[in-house]
Chains A and B, each alone.
Chain A
Amino acid sequence: MAFECIGSTLTRREAFAAMGVGALVLSGRLAQAQAARPSELRVGIATYLSGPASVFGVPGKQAAELLIEELNAAGGIAGVKVRPIFVDEGPGVDHFVGEYRRLVQSENVNILFSAISSADCLACAPLADELKRPTLLWDCGTQRIFEEGKYEYAYRTQANATPEILAPLLYLLRVKPDFKTVAVVNQDYAWGRDSWSLFKTGLETLLPGVKVVAELFPKFGATDFSTEVTRLLALRPDVVLSTSWGGDLDTFIRQSADRNLFERSTFVLPLAESSLQRVGKALPAGHIVGARGDHWFLHPSPKDPALLKRFTDSYQARFGAYPIYPCHHMAQAVFAMKAGYEKAIAAKGGAWPNDAELAAAFRGLEFPSLTASVKIREDGQGLENQIVGTTFHSDKYPFPVMTDMVVFEAAKITTPVGQKSVDWLKTLTPEVIKTLPAPVAFKG
């Protein structure tokens, strides 16, 4: 007996074989569609465990360990315990891509948090779609990811470089509206260049006529800024911008302080929240600092003060320092994962979601952060508030704290969906400065 099939003839044996293959494929799809509740939820976490960026990566890892332990102690996610698997971004993007594939294909992780490096995020967003594994971009800054691409499985649980740079610029324009000259000292790599480009575009739009007297880009990881400091001392710019971070920023602050540069210029340091505890009171009062979000353990108006205090106290007790912004970013990824699973499970009437259903749950998801809440937009970009303040020396802390804090509402300072940041920044008007919230003073 033979079966007629689109112009060809199948034997009985071939027909049974085809049915067998079909059944296998169907059963696989059913298994995918009705994913079984796993015995544990494996989370692949990419962070810097080596190299200069480990000043962020290790606190991020510590925060993940702390929060996942607390999550598991409270029963996990829908009764499933979470197990983190950490990988190091330190060896570079090629190594990272291999690690990402290994986490998905060998470790069979259910979800990934990735990464600190913008280059790693740019590499893993397309990989997330290729391998169809939900991925939360937890700390990287580049705005290009969702402005230049569309992804089904990659979502960012924090802001991007545009609001992180625009907020300190708007703050500067409000507290020092009449400055005439600016100099920049940024690290010579993508973040240093891109953040300056955003700042400069915004500045030229909102306060045209300001003269850029020096654009200095010392090499990434530089340990000596004495020549840059001398140059700035001689130039006497009204404002010095530095989006540097880690040891580079610490050294730049110390060498500037040693030679009284802070007395000649107002510094704008969008990432300095992460350096305050290390540089201590070497950083004088009266300079502008940001936190890559609204991350500040002394946030003036946290949505859930008890949550922020509990996390701050637990982290400090265990690791001997106040949590810095990567800890907050990691907390947001953990909270987003929990909220995403709960949303997807609820949408399935209590059944465990498959990868596609989980990924879809992140679009439009709103989840709590340690200080407020974050909403993931339809393009996958997170809307996260920004806090900027002025350094202040209080007797209560051995390092500068922020005063005159302004919390910027995320939606107002984030590039709208479908637009490019540089183009959008050119559409801003000085009116935006007048609508900023009132600053809040430090309360000892």
Chain B
Amino acid sequence: MSWFSDNGLLLGLATLDGLSYAAAIFMVAVGLNLIFGVLRVLNIAHGSFYAIGGYSAASLGLMFAARGLPAWAAFAALAIAAAIVGVLLGPPIARLLRRTQHQEPVLQLLVTFGLFMILEDLQKLIWGVQPIVFDRPLKLLGNVDVPFAGDLIPFTRYQLFVLPGIAIVTLVALAWTLRRTLFGRMLVAVTVDREAAISQGIDADRITMVTFTIGTALAALGGALSSATASLVPGVGAQTIVLSFAVVATAGLGQVEGAAITALLIGLGRSTAIYFAPELEVVIPYLIMVGVLLIRPQGLFGVIETRRI
């Protein structure tokens, strides 16, 4: 009891930090989860979508600023970049991966890994190797002071409101789409049983293509949002995909709300570790993943599927 009275305020700060971190990883992980749902392929190249989204947003935002566009255009740059990356990369890569759909999982992984390597080199070719940042959106919104033990701790409004806000909007929009729209129901049908869905007249290829594009755009949006706070460097995609896999595996493959809750769990776990056991910071997402998978191999929200022969 006394530990909580001593550290309650610190836990409050850790929660604020954990929320924004969770929001950032949710954006990438949910796209990965959606794609796995329809394609049944663990897409390693998903990390590259995040990186390319970030680089594109930074380039577009800097171009807007150089042309004297109004300040709000910085936010538009983030969304436009994500949409462009989704539309340009999603359909061709979805078409390629569909060809591996019924192949051995090892082959699928190798193909996506090869794609990842190609896209990594493409990033270096276009943006070079020096870190790039585009922090205009963050600077526009400024800071807000949070009271803490007689002190004031400044947080950026971008971190406190924009990142969690966009994650919540994304979650609600996806949940609504999946449950309340025809497209969403068709997507669920393709995810649950592709052959049955096709037999009911659903164009599974089209659903797969659109879903892949949405997943790609979400990863790109995650990268675009992070370009305001973090420097983009070669290798950033690899860092992201590892953490996203941890979220997806912990949540259960194909789970949207599960991805949100797991991202929250990992985000809060990590920030709490930084405050009270910093040595555990790096391993905490994976400790959570291993702990969950030992108890529930299908993930926190996954369902056990009957194996088809």
| Residues in chain A within 8 A of chain B (CB atoms) | 50-52, 54-55, 57-58, 188, 214-219, 221-224, 226-228, 230-231, 233-234, 236, 246-248, 250-251, 254-255, 258-260, 278, 321
Contacts and interface: CB of A to CB of B under 8 A. Distances in A.
26 contacts: A55-B129, A55-B130, A58-B128, A58-B130, A219-B239, A219-B281, A221-B235, A223-B229, A223-B230, A223-B231, A223-B236, A224-B226, A224-B229, A227-B271, A227-B275, A228-B274, A230-B17, A233-B154, A234-B149, A236-B151, A246-B131, A247-B230, A248-B231, A255-B230, A258-B135, A278-B130
Contact of A251 (B16, B231, B235, B282): B231
Contacts of A246: 131, 233
A228 B13 CA distance: 11
A210 to B, nearest CB: 19
Contact of B274 (A227, A260, A278): A227
B: contact size bracket: 35 or more
Contacts of B10: 234
A247 B232 contact: yes
Task: Pick the most buried of B16, B155, B235: most chain A CB atoms within 10 A of its CB.
Answer: B235
A300 B149 CA distance: 46
Interface stretch (B18-26, B97-105, B211-219): B18-26
A219 B14 CA distance: 18
Interface string B267-309: 0001100110011011000000000000000000000000000
B227 to A, nearest CB: 10
The 6 closest A-B pairs by CB, nearest first: A247-B233, A223-B230, A227-B17, A54-B129, A247-B231, A247-B131
Contacts of B13: 230-231, 234
B59 interface: no
B229 A226 contact: yes
B154 A226 contact: no
Contacts of A255: 229-230
A170 B123 CA distance: 41
B266 to A, nearest CB: 12
Interface string B110-153: 00000000001100100011110101001100010000110101
Nearest to A261: B154
B159 interface: yes
Contacts of A188: 281-282
Contacts of B143: 258-260
B184 interface: no
Nearest to A54: B129
B226 A254 contact: no
A216 B231 CA distance: 20
Given A234-B10, A278-B231, 19 more contacts: A50-B234, A52-B235, A217-B278, A217-B279, A217-B282, A218-B282, A223-B229, A226-B20, A227-B14, A227-B271, A230-B13, A234-B153, A247-B232, A250-B131, A251-B131, A254-B133, A259-B154, A278-B130, A321-B130
A234 B9 CA distance: 10
B156 interface: yes
A224 B282 contact: no
Contacts of B278: 214-217
A321 B131 CA distance: 13
Given A223-B239, A230-B13, A260 B233 contact: no
Contacts of A57: 129
Nearest to B239: A221
Given A227-B14, A227-B21, A247 B282 contact: no
Contacts of A248: 231
